[in-house]
Amino acid sequence: MVQHKAPPPPLSTFTLAPEPPPPAAPQPPKPTEIVRASESVTAPVQLVRTPSASPVQAAPPATPVAVAVVAPPAPAAVPAPPAPVTPPDFSASQLGNPGPAYPFLSRRAKEQGVVTLRVLVTEAGRAGEIRVETSSGFERLDKAALATVKRWKFLPARQAGKAVAAWVLVPVTFALG
């Protein structure tokens, strides 16, 4: 007699899913600003206890108490923007400002260029502080421009009808013709 063995049980394959991530911590609610139009305050009611023979009685209702609600202070008045400033003027036709003297050596070397000066015009219309903003590339031309503009007269800047000190850019051109 032949005995047959029972076939082995079929193999099962399982795929394990990755472990789920832990649940996210709940976000606390965002604070919101509560604005109350007004508040009313009433006095608390006191209960009076008596021996068990008599029932509990409430004190008579308190009369409403008037509470003054103070409004928040009004925001400070915003100052008006400053009056516009009229820039200083240095036009030669109105003020008789002379042009710069062309330095002899610069003329001979055929040096040309534009010097831009930053000038602080005082309330009196004179050049206070002078700086070379952009050089011509030639020191002699820059110095000649500085020496000339120091002597110039200006119409000062005005703000609300009053003369004020202000900076202005003054181009001085040196060109051989």
pLDDT at 161: 87
- How far is Cα 95 from Cα 116, in angstroms, rounded to an integer? 20
pTM of the predicted model as reported, rounded to 2 decimal places: 0.52
pLDDT at 47: 47
User: Are residues 54 and 61 in contact, defined by beta-carbon separation less than 8 angstroms?
Assistant: no
Instruction: Tell me the pLDDT of the chain (177 aa) as tens digits.
Output: 555 565 555 444 444 445 555 666 666 555 554 444 444 444 444 544 555 555 555 555 556 555 555 656 666 666 767 778 777 776 655 678 899 999 999 999 999 999 999 999 999 999 999 999 999 999 999 999 999 999 999 999 998 889 999 999 999 999 998
- How far is Cα 117 from Cα 90, in angstroms, rounded to an integer? 12
Domain parsing of the chain, residue ranges: 86-174
3-state DSSP of 79-142: CCCCCCEECCECCHHHHCCCCCCCCHHHHHCCCCEEEEEEEEECCCCEEEEEEEEECCCCHHHH
CATH assignment of 86-174? 3.30.2420.10
User: Are residues 150 and 127 in contact, defined by beta-carbon separation less than 8 angstroms?
Assistant: yes
Helix (H, G, I), strand (E, B) or coil at 21: coil
Q: What DSSP string runs through 135-176?
A: --S-HHHHHHHHHHHHT-B-BPEEETTEEE-EEEEEEEEE--
